[in-house]
Copies of this chain bind each other. A is one copy, B any other.
């Protein structure tokens, strides 16, 4: 099955990582993959645009089926390979509701991270304001505290909603992203614990981009959050 799949991705992208973790969890190793460069604008290349009119990573193809939105790809793969590999959506109604709830709160979390980490890329120089960046940082602090609280409540299992699920698939890359950009493990101990418990999970470890933790200048942007 995996031989009929192709993933075009770039390193350092939480949305790409979500799809890669899902593929690993569903035992779909051996798919075709091509690492492209965001810096070189390869997401706007003809190769990507032919499959993805938005010109974004990930771009994912299964046979003649194209599904590029990362959440869509994860839900599609779980549905099509339900009984293969890890079951990523709990059956139990309460856990399932919590799973979906955390999964979609994960989008807000990622959005708030983006507004701090990529502020300079998202906003042209003459439209930037210290007051705006300060507000984005405050919103991110509020968001991070919410997740600290959620993880306090689920400490016994270490996952966000019962067993490992799509909620972890989509949220973990954002947590890793936050620490990569300098988030303090001391100020956010539950998030740090969650990160440490999950980072060596086979699906995550084998899909972690090799250069993810190389030091790069400008990667301390979350130090004071």
Contacts and interface: CB of A to CB of B under 8 A. Distances in A.
Contact residues of A: prevailing secondary structure: helix
A38 interface: no
Interface string A63-76: 01111111111011
Given A53-B146, A76-B96, A79-B96, A69 B127 contact: no
A100 interface: yes
Contacts of A98: 67
A93 interface: yes
Interface in A54-108: 54, 62, 64-73, 75-76, 79-80, 89, 93-94, 96-98, 100-101, 103-105, 107-108
Interface residues of A, number: 39
A218 interface: no
Contacts of A40: none
Taking the full assembly, how many copies of this chain does it contain? 2
28 contacts: A53-B149, A54-B105, A54-B108, A64-B94, A65-B93, A65-B97, A67-B97, A67-B98, A67-B100, A69-B104, A69-B105, A70-B104, A71-B100, A71-B104, A72-B97, A72-B100, A73-B100, A75-B100, A76-B97, A76-B100, A79-B89, A80-B93, A107-B107, A123-B132, A124-B131, A126-B129, A127-B131, A127-B132
Interface of A: 53-54, 62, 64-73, 75-76, 79-80, 89, 93-94, 96-98, 100-101, 103-105, 107-108, 123-124, 126-127, 129, 131-132, 146, 149
Given A66-B97, A70-B104, A72-B100, 6 more contacts: A64-B94, A67-B100, A69-B100, A72-B97, A126-B131, A127-B131
